[in-house]
Structure 1
Amino acid sequence: MRAGFAVTMVTTALVVGAAAGCGSSGSGGETSPSGRSTSATTTLAAQAPTGFDPCHDIPTSVLDSEGLDHKATNADSDGSGGAKWRGCIYAAADGYGASIRTTNITLPMVRSNIGFAVAGEMVIGDRRALSYHDVDQPDHRAFCLLNLEMKGGSLEISIDNPASSRKTGRLESCDIAKGLATKLAPLIASGT
């Protein structure tokens, strides 16, 4: 695993965990994909969602299509304020690194966190998603986070794609994250 990717993951955990623990407020009501109004809340679910296991539920066909190694490194972590991440890190030889983890951090929590700058909001499959960067991250091409909505949290895809990566260094990290999310969304159990 590249040192820069580990630093990005730790920074993400600290920034999101601090916001969750400090009780930052959301932006008010929203409309869910089903059309019902939901209120933004900072109340964390007790655990990360379980409708998808990033360490075991990704088919080899998806890993192969992304050029990712089949050997995943566990990336479970617990942040401050009850934030939890469960999943694995995958790497591509001469390419990007991806942390793919479920978390009890919701999209409204990410959106309201002043430590993040939202790059885009979209729907992937039938799930809302948003891509974003750490506000202190100078290279938005190389680093991107994308959260795909799940009940009680989200699936977080964190991409580290330095320009020195021979195979993928010219690609935008958020484009990589969106492509990967498009392949993963159908694998998440419905209702979760």
Structure 2
Amino acid sequence: MGGWRIVALAAVAAAVTACSPTSAEETEATGEATTTTTRTPRITDDSGRPPVTFDPCYDIPDDIMTAAGYDAGKKEVADMPMGSYTFLGCAYDKRDYVPGVRRGYGLNILSGNVTLDEELAKNGHVASPITVRDRAGLREVGPSGNNECTYVLQTEFGIVLFNRLYYTDSVEPAPQDEWCSGMDELVASIEQYLPR
């Protein structure tokens, strides 16, 4: 797994916060909120890289995640300023227990200002190029071990990572062809919300 992903995923697990979204600006004259077309970044870094303007917890509609079987009411937000890059993360759980097969999935969606080429350089040994709704990306099978699948999509500021862990119902790993099962449909349903 790439260096930034290890730190970013650790931050999702350890530094969960409940920040309010910053996509709406208050209008003084009316007192009503108006939605801007580009989110003001919650956090920035000092790298000179583009600001991360897509926040997975606030810019992916909850009904999309609910339709995919994830409990959007229990999503967890994490801020990850890294100095030389930034990731905004959101963690979801899907507990669709199948006895003897799986206990469900854990999904982290990370939006960061590293490039697709940098991601390929880190995980090229497990990556293959993909296109999702005319958007360039990568599919990484097992980037940090068994039962893991990651889709990476290119954006105007960098990348969005969809990192899913398959929770098996045994000590043995799931069959490798199951690690990414259903990810094509999930990622395609979210792609339309990503900035180009």
User: Same-fold call, TM > 0.5?
Assistant: yes
Is there any run of 5+ residues in structure 1 with no aligned partner, and where?
1-7, 17-42
2:5 aligned partner, one-letter code: T
Q: Deviations over 1:127-165 (max 9, x none)?
A: 101012565x341xx112211000120111111112229
What's the CA shift for 1:46? 4.5
What does residue 110 of structure 1 align with? 119
What's the CA shift for 1:44? 6.7
Residue 74 (1) aligns with residue 77 (2): yes
TM-score, length basis structure 1: 0.64
Residue 163 (1) aligns with residue 172 (2): no
What's the CA shift for 1:63? 1.3
What does residue 144 of structure 1 align with? 149
What's the CA shift for 1:9? 10
Per the alignment, do residues 85 and 187 of structure 1 end up closer, same or farther by CA in structure 2, a change over 3 Å counting?
same
What does residue 54 of structure 1 align with? 56
1:104 aligned partner, one-letter code: N
Residue 86 (1) aligns with residue 91 (2): no
Is there any run of 5+ residues in structure 2 with no aligned partner, and where?
10-46, 98-103
What does residue 25 of structure 1 align with? none
What does residue 190 of structure 2 align with? 184
Q: State the secondary structure of the residue aligned to 1:76.
A: strand
Q: State the secondary structure of the residue aligned to 1:108.
A: helix
Question: Which of residues 154, 174, 181 is equivalent to 2:180?
Answer: 174
Per the alignment, do residues 44 and 150 of structure 1 end up closer, same or farther by CA in structure 2, a change over 3 Å counting?
farther
Q: Deviations over 1:92-143 (max 9, x none)?
A: 1242111112101211001112x552332111012101012565x341xx11
What does residue 110 of structure 2 align with? 101
What does residue 125 of structure 1 align with? 133
Contact 2:162 2:187 in 1 (8 A): yes
Residue 45 (1) aligns with residue 83 (2): no
Q: State the secondary structure of the residue aligned to 2:57.
A: coil
Question: Which of residues 149, 152, 158 is equivalent to 1:153?
Answer: 158
Structure 1 vs Structure 2 CA RMSD: 3.1
Contact 1:116 1:133 in 2 (8 A): no
Displaced runs of 4+ in structure 1, greater than 6 A?
A: 8-11
What's the CA shift for 1:76? 2.4
Q: Percent identity among equivalent residues? A: 24
Residue 12 (1) aligns with residue 15 (2): no
Between the two structures, name the one with larger relative contact order (CA 8 Å, sep ≥ 6). Answer: 1
Count residues with an aligned counterpart. Answer: 147
2-structure distance, mates of 1:134, 1:92: 19
What's the CA shift for 1:77? 1.5
What's the CA shift for 1:185? 0.6
Q: State the secondary structure of the residue aligned to 2:92.
A: strand
Contact 1:75 1:101 in 2 (8 A): no
Q: State the secondary structure of the residue aligned to 2:87.
A: strand
